[in-house]
């Protein structure tokens, strides 16, 4: 469990007015909100009485080719089927329908490259670009239900490729460009993809990083793969190896394609995308989302939570390789008809004011980012924000990990002028949509994620599903189905079921939380052995499996330890094995340093730069249960100087 500081910090600092204060929204915010307090009260009331009716209303706000027969088919629970029998396509709602409205010539997508170049697409232009690629993909023989892997940096073509795939009914599988070639290979294999779309490379931190060679290596190493097309976006125009009869430049592919393409008619429960995330096993899980439920949940929550107005300029800093990129960079903003901003590079390039510079330049009105990013920028003080006009901002948001009250207050004050609502949204890859979050009209407590959104039912429960008393720590449970819920885990029904049968009768999110006397939720980290490094999920077992593949490692245990910037980082405990002859120098220090270095590199190579290891402790043995299961909890308690009881408080075994 991660100590995220909310309860403890409040106690440690005594009665600190700033962080213990309740921040009320400005009257103007309340007056202008899409969902004012009366609307909110009636939405909550409707949802409590009949959550199906609430979500049906949300679905009716979108366009369907054919209406559903049943709002929620729960006859095969937990295989819930939302809007069963309905026919739709998310791209019709994200793009096609806007072409017939005043949105036609409005900016849909603005992209800025790290060197400062930029590209802009109106809804009409984006629609055409998507149609051209959709036609090209169809001409390549790609059909409904087929998987397309996108190994892409943040580029306009990433959005275009996601939408083009969905438009023809193919299933996109976005692989974060920070993942290794090996991770890419695993995902290509797991999804049996025939087509991959990538780029020559991208700019980050002032330099150009090649991507295509990683794809080449992944494809060369894998004799099992079915990939027969690799589409390459030219980002920097560098020379790359193009394999004849397999590789084709994106520009060449779409050049002669028509501007119109038919939108495939999908069943509400046909898959839209697969996105891999980490769980407690050694292998990433392919989380499946489907058209109808996902579009409904995402559309409704982005509209109410971010209060989208026709004049907004929306910037979510996430990469499309994560669920936040899917729901809050691409689908959510486009369905809402707003302008979405994408940035290619690093927030500190060329200096620590890049984000403030971009807010100023584009007049960003909603800024949605991570606590890690805020902590990183906070270190540079108030000087950089003060150099820019941030007055266009009206809403701030965070996601991915708990935000400490101090960080919250800094963001609210320094970036939000103490005027912007600060929306801390709790959700997951599996939930698809925002679940627990304040709304523009909510009174805010720094560090709390507020209340479940209308239509979402959540509680803090014990292992048996019994609600915990106020302020007691327990497991976060979602107690009713919600529309954007995942519809499966690729090739793994047992793992899907586990989410619903670990705690009887509810969806177990894997998080620890408490609920205070006002019904506000406080998230306290993961209950399972999943690390959250800079808002990115990584399974302890996944990291351990890589470490154990090193010839000198007999056993390894990985735990998450608190980190000032990243929230959490990985620390490994390693038992060296008999092949421990890595270094000629016989002193242990030199051996340890050399081995630590090798292990770091191995993780980078196998999983990518996200899997960063802070330190390694070499030991003779690891604490284990009698049946031989590694007791990571014991290591964690030692590390944090806590009693084992303190961190097993909710473990009632």
Candidates 222-230, 385-393, 423-431, 637-645; binding stretch for ligand WTA (CB under 6 A)? 423-431
Residues 431-490 interacting with ligand WTA (rule: CB under 6 A):
449
* Strand spans (E) along 406-494: 421-425, 458-461, 474-478, 488-489
- The three-class DSSP label of residue 566 is coil
In the complex, the smallest distance separating the C-beta of residue 404 from ligand WTA, rounded to whole angstroms, is: 11
Burial class (CB in 10 A: 0-12, 13-18, 19+), 312: buried
Single residue of 397, 510, 539, 608 touching ligand WTA by CB under 6 A: 510
Alpha-carbon distance of 275 to 431, in angstroms, equals: 12
Candidates 35-43, 421-429, 458-466, 551-559; binding stretch for ligand WTA (CB under 6 A)? 421-429
Count the Cβ atoms, other than its own, within 10 Å of residue 12. Answer: 9
- The three-class DSSP label of residue 653 is coil
Alpha-carbon distance of 395 to 314, in angstroms, equals: 10
Burial class (CB in 10 A: 0-12, 13-18, 19+), 389: exposed
Q: How far is CA 622 from CA 603, 630, 633, 634, in A?
A: 21, 7, 11, 10
Contact call for residues 544 and 558 (beta carbons, < 8 A): yes
Alpha-carbon distance of 592 to 617, in angstroms, equals: 8
Candidates 88-96, 99-107, 183-191, 425-433; binding stretch for ligand WTA (CB under 6 A)? 425-433
Single residue of 71, 148, 366, 402 touching ligand WTA by CB under 6 A: 402
Residues 163-192 interacting with ligand WTA (rule: CB under 6 A):
none
Candidates 48-56, 422-430, 477-485, 628-636; binding stretch for ligand WTA (CB under 6 A)? 422-430
Single residue of 154, 325, 332, 400 touching ligand WTA by CB under 6 A: 400
Single residue of 55, 82, 83, 427 touching ligand WTA by CB under 6 A: 427
In the complex, the smallest distance separating the C-beta of residue 431 from ligand WTA, rounded to whole angstroms, is: 8
Single residue of 176, 273, 322, 500 touching ligand WTA by CB under 6 A: 322
196 binds ligand WTA (CB under 6 A): no
Alpha-carbon distance of 101 to 103, in angstroms, equals: 5
537 binds ligand WTA (CB under 6 A): yes
In the complex, the smallest distance separating the C-beta of residue 560 from ligand WTA, rounded to whole angstroms, is: 11
Residues 249-288 interacting with ligand WTA (rule: CB under 6 A):
277
In the complex, the smallest distance separating the C-beta of residue 395 from ligand WTA, rounded to whole angstroms, is: 15
| Lookup: tokens for 6 | 């909310």
User: Which is closer to ligand WTA, CB of 191 or CB of 450?
Assistant: 450
User: Which is closer to ligand WTA, CB of 157 or CB of 401?
Assistant: 401
Alpha-carbon distance of 254 to 342, in angstroms, equals: 22
- The three-class DSSP label of residue 264 is coil
425 binds ligand WTA (CB under 6 A): yes
In the complex, the smallest distance separating the C-beta of residue 398 from ligand WTA, rounded to whole angstroms, is: 6
Q: How far is CA 510 from CA 436, 490, 526, 529, 536, in A?
A: 15, 19, 6, 9, 15
Sign of CA dihedral 392, 394, 400, 404: positive
Phi-psi region of 447 (alpha: psi -120 to 50; beta: other; left: phi over 0): left
426 binds ligand WTA (CB under 6 A): yes
In the complex, the smallest distance separating the C-beta of residue 570 from ligand WTA, rounded to whole angstroms, is: 16
542 binds ligand WTA (CB under 6 A): no
Alpha-carbon distance of 468 to 352, in angstroms, equals: 43
In the complex, the smallest distance separating the C-beta of residue 521 from ligand WTA, rounded to whole angstroms, is: 9
User: Which is closer to ligand WTA, CB of 25 or CB of 510?
Assistant: 510
Candidates 100-108, 205-213, 293-301, 322-330; binding stretch for ligand WTA (CB under 6 A)? 322-330
- The three-class DSSP label of residue 48 is helix
Burial class (CB in 10 A: 0-12, 13-18, 19+), 26: middle
Candidates 409-417, 490-498, 505-513, 571-579; binding stretch for ligand WTA (CB under 6 A)? 505-513
555, containing H or E segment:
strand 553-563
Single residue of 487, 532, 552, 569 touching ligand WTA by CB under 6 A: 532
Contact call for residues 607 and 178 (beta carbons, < 8 A): no
User: Which is closer to ligand WTA, CB of 98 or CB of 289?
Assistant: 289
Single residue of 257, 401, 459, 612 touching ligand WTA by CB under 6 A: 401
In the complex, the smallest distance separating the C-beta of residue 427 from ligand WTA, rounded to whole angstroms, is: 5
In the complex, the smallest distance separating the C-beta of residue 525 from ligand WTA, rounded to whole angstroms, is: 7
Burial class (CB in 10 A: 0-12, 13-18, 19+), 644: middle
- The three-class DSSP label of residue 440 is coil
In the complex, the smallest distance separating the C-beta of residue 224 from ligand WTA, rounded to whole angstroms, is: 28
Contact call for residues 190 and 491 (beta carbons, < 8 A): yes
To the nearest 10 degrees (0 to 180), the angle between helices 51-60 and 37-49 is 120
83 binds ligand WTA (CB under 6 A): no
Candidates 26-34, 48-56, 172-180, 504-512; binding stretch for ligand WTA (CB under 6 A)? 504-512
Single residue of 526, 591, 632, 636 touching ligand WTA by CB under 6 A: 526
By CB under 6 A, the count of residues binding ligand WTA is 22
In the complex, the smallest distance separating the C-beta of residue 523 from ligand WTA, rounded to whole angstroms, is: 4
523 binds ligand WTA (CB under 6 A): yes
- Bridge partners of 151, per DSSP, are 175, 198
240 binds ligand WTA (CB under 6 A): no
Single residue of 323, 547, 607, 637 touching ligand WTA by CB under 6 A: 323
Contact call for residues 297 and 94 (beta carbons, < 8 A): no
User: Which is closer to ligand WTA, CB of 555 or CB of 563?
Assistant: 563
Alpha-carbon distance of 421 to 195, in angstroms, equals: 43
The number of angstroms, rounded, from the C-alpha of 564 to the middle of its chain's C-alpha atoms is 21
In the complex, the smallest distance separating the C-beta of residue 277 from ligand WTA, rounded to whole angstroms, is: 5
| Lookup: tokens for 347 | 């927030």
- Bridge partners of 424, per DSSP, are 398
Candidates 127-135, 201-209, 266-274, 507-515; binding stretch for ligand WTA (CB under 6 A)? 507-515
Candidates 27-35, 156-164, 187-195, 506-514; binding stretch for ligand WTA (CB under 6 A)? 506-514
372 binds ligand WTA (CB under 6 A): no
| Sites of contact with ligand WTA (CB under 6 A) | 277, 322-324, 399-402, 424-429, 449, 509-511, 523, 526, 532, 537
């Amino acid at each position: 469990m991660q100590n995220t500081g909310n309860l403890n910090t409040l106690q440690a600092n005594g009665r600190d007015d700033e962080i213990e204060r309740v921040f009320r929204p400005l009257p103007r915010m309340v007056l202008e909100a899409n969902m004012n307090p009366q609307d909110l009260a009636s939405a909550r009331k409707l949802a409590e009485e009949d959550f199906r009716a609430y979500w049906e209303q949300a679905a009716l706000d979108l366009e369907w080719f054919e209406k559903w027969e049943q709002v929620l088919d729960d006859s095969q629970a937990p295989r819930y089927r939302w809007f069963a029998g309905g026919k739709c396509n998310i791209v019709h709602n994200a793009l096609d329908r806007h072409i017939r409205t005043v949105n036609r010539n409005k900016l849909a997508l603005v992209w800025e490259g790290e060197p400062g170049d930029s590209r802009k697409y109106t809804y009409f232009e984006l629609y055409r670009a998507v149609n051209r690629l959709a036609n090209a993909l169809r001409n390549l023989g790609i059909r409904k239900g087929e998987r397309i892997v996108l190994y892409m940096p943040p580029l306009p073509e990433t959005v275009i490729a996601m939408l083009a795939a969905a438009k023809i009914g193919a299933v996109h599988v976005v692989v974060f460009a920070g993942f290794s070639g090996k991770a890419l290979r695993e995902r290509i294999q797991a999804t049996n993809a025939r087509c991959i779309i990538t780029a020559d490379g991208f700019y980050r931190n002032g330099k150009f990083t090649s991507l295509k060679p990683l794809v080449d290596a992944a494809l060369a190493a894998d004799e099992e793969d079915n990939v027969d097309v690799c589409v390459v976006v030219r980002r920097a125009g560098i020379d790359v190896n193009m394999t004849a009869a397999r590789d084709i430049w994106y520009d060449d592919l779409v050049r002669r394609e028509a501007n119109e393409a038919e939108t495939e008619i999908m069943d509400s429960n046909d898959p839209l995308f697969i996105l891999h995330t980490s769980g407690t096993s050694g292998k990433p899980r392919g989380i499946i989302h489907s058209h109808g439920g996902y579009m409904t949940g995402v559309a409704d929550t982005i509209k109410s939570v971010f209060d989208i107005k026709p004049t907004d300029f929306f910037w979510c800093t996430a990469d499309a390789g994560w669920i936040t990129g899917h729901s809050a960079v691409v689908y959510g903003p486009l369905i809402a008809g707003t302008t979405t901003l994408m940035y290619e590079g690093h927030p500190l390039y060329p200096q620590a004011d890049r984000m403030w510079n971009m807010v100023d330049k584009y007049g960003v009105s909603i800024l949605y980012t991570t606590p890690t990013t805020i902590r990183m920028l906070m270190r540079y003080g108030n000087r950089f924000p003060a150099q820019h006009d941030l007055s266009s901002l009206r809403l701030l948001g965070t996601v991915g990990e708990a935000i400490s009250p101090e960080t919250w207050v800094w963001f609210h004050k320094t970036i939000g002028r103490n005027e912007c609502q600060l929306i801390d949204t709790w959700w997951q890859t599996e939930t698809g949509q925002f679940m627990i979050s304040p709304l523009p009209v909510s009174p805010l407590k720094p560090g709390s994620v507020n209340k479940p959104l209308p239509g979402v039912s959540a509680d803090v429960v014990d292992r048996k599903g019994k609600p915990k008393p106020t302020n007691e720590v327990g497991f976060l449970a979602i107690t009713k189905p919600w529309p954007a819920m995942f519809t499966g885990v690729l090739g793994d029904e047992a793992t899907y079921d586990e989410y619903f049968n670990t705690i009887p009768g509810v969806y177990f999110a894997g998080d620890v939380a408490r609920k205070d006397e006002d019904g506000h939720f406080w998230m306290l980290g993961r209950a399972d052995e999943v690390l959250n490094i800079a808002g990115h999920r990584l399974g302890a077992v996944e990291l351990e499996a890589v470490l154990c593949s090193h010839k000198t490692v007999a056993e390894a245990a990985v735990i998450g330890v608190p980190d000032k910037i990243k929230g959490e980082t990985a620390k490994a405990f390693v038992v060296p094995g008999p092949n421990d002859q890595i270094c000629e120098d016989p002193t242990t220090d030199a051996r340890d340093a050399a081995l630590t270095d090798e292990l770091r590199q191995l993780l980078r190579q196998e999983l990518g730069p996200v899997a960063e290891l802070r330190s390694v402790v070499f030991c003779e043995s690891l604490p284990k249960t009698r049946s031989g299961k590694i007791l990571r909890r014991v290591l964690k308690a030692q590390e944090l100087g806590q009693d084992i009881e303190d961190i097993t408080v909710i473990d009632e075994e």
